[in-house]
Amino acid sequence: MKTIGYIIQKEFRQIFRNKGMLPIIFILPILQLVILSNAATYEVKNIKFAYIDNDHSSYSRELIEKFNASTYFSVLTDFSSEAKASSAMLKGEVDVLLVIPPYFERDLQKEKYTDLGVTINAIDGAAAGVENVYVNQIVQSFNKKLKVELLQPEDALITPVNITSIPSFWYNETLNYKTFMVPGILVLLVTMITLFLSGMNIVREKEIGTLEQINVTPIKKSQFIIGKLFPFWVIGMGLLSIGLLIAKLIFDVPMLGSLGLMYLYTSIYILVILGIGLFISNFTDTQQQAMFIAWFFVVIFILMSGLFTPIESMPGWAQIITEFNPIKYFVEVMRMVMLKGSSFQDILPQFLKTLLYALIMNGLAVWSYKKTN
Amino acid sequence: MSITLQHISKSYKKVEALKDISFEVKENELFGLIGPDGAGKTTLFRILTTLLFADEGTANVAGFDVVKDYKAIRQNVGYMPGKFSLYQDLTVEENLKFFATIFGTTIDENYELIKDIYVQIEPFKNRRAGKLSGGMKQKLALSCALIHKPKVLFLDEPTTGVDPVSRKEFWEMLKRLQQKGITILVSTPYMDEAALCDRIALIQDGKILKIDTPEAIVKHYPKTIYNIGANNMYQLILSLNAYEHSYSVYPFGEFVHYTDQRTNFELNDLKKYLEAENLTGVSIQSTKPTIEDTFMELAK
């Protein structure tokens, strides 16, 4: 016990003496959380909108006025011809192009029917989809207003009943993407920092040769490993606390669930990450190698965690792979507990899987750590 | 016997690092392992300190088998690797305390043993180990290797990269440790240090060439060695190598160590030959062979 205590003490001393490491551990994560949470947004805003008005009627101007009024579109000038408009889109100056046909107003009044041409730059498919919805919404509301104006009293009898759906968004009523992103990015931070630090730590002893010196001492494998990894467990928990504080103070993310539950789950989760870190460092000889391997896993884990893209829309085989992704469980648990106020019963499946993962990873890591070769 | 090796062999993939090594080190002996880089010295150390398994053969250290009783060996030996391997970002005192703690002891308990060495670096005990000079690093490493009062001390090239004064001091410290009853196995590529050991083993390409006291090893040298000097050293070596009766030619400081093939060697013959080769200031004297000469002869 005394030995473990001293190793932990030594480890902390080294961490705090490392002038390059301290900002990496404490400042960068905070910056990351603040910047990423504000920048990584699904909202499509400031859409570059252009139009060709071939009608120049009061209706066509009214429609364009509606786009102008929308906060999502920033209306550029109109183009005189389609050729000019498409070359502008080719240059990337325009995202959405609306073409109002000639006789737009006349057709509407006489035929009660007309077409609008909408061209959307769909290089980013997801954004194009969202833009399409916005355009439709505006056109629809324009439509409704027209109906009232154009319909004759005698037509009222044959007007079909309108079905309006009013969605209510649970757990994130205002569809605030920050509420959704902050818990996820917090997960990312805790994972990245603890994995990199623990992965590089034992390799570092290998690199500077101290591991050889330690291996000839009677110290037990378990004492050494616990002594080495415990400080990073503490740092991981510390990061979680800092992150939660920022989430509350800066982003005002709702925290419905119990803090204790979040800490309980995280304490197990960090064990998984430390196990992976130790495992990596057992099979590498330099910090550089360890760093590359850790990066490789982190990138896959993050992209397949459901943090940025929903797991439900991944192909079947990818969904199976995500079962082995610890970050996925952490993201789920954090979102569940923070936003839905889930109880221990609710997160039990994730909790058990993570616990099993921790046992397996650490078992493998301890088994593969050898004092002799 | 403090250290016993029997038929130890070790290969790294296709490279044979040690080939059938057997020797013994007596209790309280200062035993030197002398050989060039790549001779297999470090591999041998790593096997004896339980860091590496031998492919074949058995070895005992302080009465314990290196494979079965590795735990007992780790309690009883001190190892100082060739590369400085202490924590550069910890202070002198913290390093020493760290190693004392993981050996389950304290600095006070065995202070007597390291006192001679530690007092020299104690004024800098709050300095980071990375900021120490080469000689002081060596002293700290030795202190750390001794803090648990080992019975056997392994020193892998402890003086490589250390200045001549510190080297001399270091060997004096080893002598004093020997008097305190510690068996010491030390490796070095420096032949002049070999003379300071009780017995030495000359090792090359994973094989032991000879084991004996330094004096006896020198006596084995079969030929008479001549110190030859001239004003143009380079030309001298070329000429000697071209000489039809030459047996060996090695530069040695400001002279060339030369041996002849013939038993009825005449100094004047050689002198005439060298002068005919346009060399000036030629001097030839017979000299005593050194361990280096013996090594070169054995390694031939």
Q: pLDDT tens-digit profile of B126-167?
A: 999 989 888 888 889 999 999 999 999 999 988 887 888 888
Residue from B43, B80, B98 to probe the interface with A (highest A Cβ count within 10 Å): B98
List CB contacts (< 8 A) between B104 and chain A.
3, 218
List CB contacts (< 8 A) between B75 and chain A.
218
**B235: burial class by Cβ within 10 Å (0-12, 13-18, 19+)?**
middle
pLDDT for A159 equals 55
Alpha-carbon gap, residue A327 to A269, rounded angstroms = 9
Identify the three-state secondary structure at position B211: strand
Question: Poorest-confidence range of A36-50, A214-228, B101-115, B254-268?
Answer: A36-50
**Complex ipTM value:** 0.75
pLDDT for B193 equals 86
Domain ranges of chain B: 3-219, 225-299
The CATH class of the B225-299 domain is alpha beta
pLDDT for A153 equals 58
Kindly state whether A9 is in contact with chain B, defined as any CB-CB distance less than 8 angstroms.
no
CB-CB under 8 Å, B94 with A372: no
Residue in B85, B89, B98 closest to A212 by CB: B85
pLDDT for A270 equals 95
CB-CB under 8 Å, A14 with B90: yes
Which residues, given as ranges, of chain A have pLDDT below 70?
Answer: 41-42, 150-164, 172-175, 371-373
| β pairing state of B15-25 and B3-12 | antiparallel
CB B186 within 8 A of CB B158: yes
Kindly state whether A222 is in contact with chain B, defined as any CB-CB distance less than 8 angstroms.
no
Residue from B102, B109, B151, B154 to probe the interface with A (highest A Cβ count within 10 Å): B102
Which residue has better confidence, B296 or A238? Answer: A238
Residue in B50, B90, B102 closest to A219 by CB: B102
Which residue has better confidence, B206 or A160? Answer: B206
Q: What are the tokens at B199?
A: 């017995």
Number of A/B CB contacts below 8 angstroms equals 67
Q: pLDDT tens-digit profile of B216-232?
A: 888 878 788 888 888 88
pLDDT for A372 equals 60
pLDDT for B36 equals 85
For A2, the closest chain B residue by CA position comes to: B101
Alpha-carbon gap, residue B126 to A106, rounded angstroms = 92
Name the nearest CA neighbour of A70 among A124, A121, A120, A136.
A136
pLDDT for A111 equals 78
Domain ranges of chain A: 2-40+174-368, 47-158
Which residues 99-138 of B are in CB contact (within 8 Å) with A? Answer: 99, 101-104
The mean pLDDT value for B269-282 works out to: 84
Kindly state whether B89 is in contact with chain A, defined as any CB-CB distance less than 8 angstroms.
yes
Distance from the Cα of B80 to chain A's closest Cα (Å) equals 7
Fold of A47-158: abc type-2 transporter like fold (3.40.1710)
List CB contacts (< 8 A) between A7 and chain B.
102
Task: Give me the torsion for CA of A106, A109, A110, A112, rounded to 10°.
Answer: 120
Percent of chain B with pLDDT over 90: 25
Residue from A212, A213, A220 to probe the interface with B (highest B Cβ count within 10 Å): A213
Kindly state whether A219 is in contact with chain B, defined as any CB-CB distance less than 8 angstroms.
yes
The mean pLDDT value for B263-283 works out to: 83
Q: What are the tokens at A275?
A: 């196990």
List CB contacts (< 8 A) between A3 and chain B.
101-102, 104
For A4, the closest chain B residue by CA position comes to: B102
Sheet holding B283-287, edge to edge: B246-252, B255-260, B225-229, B283-287
Residue B207: what are its φ and ψ, rounded to 5°? Answer: -125, 145
Kindly state whether B49 is in contact with chain A, defined as any CB-CB distance less than 8 angstroms.
yes
- Confidence bin at B94 (pLDDT 50/70/90): very high
Distance from the Cα of A209 to chain B's closest Cα (Å) equals 5
pLDDT for B186 equals 93
CB-CB under 8 Å, B86 with A216: no
Kindly state whether A204 is in contact with chain B, defined as any CB-CB distance less than 8 angstroms.
no
Fold of B3-219: Rossmann fold (3.40.50)
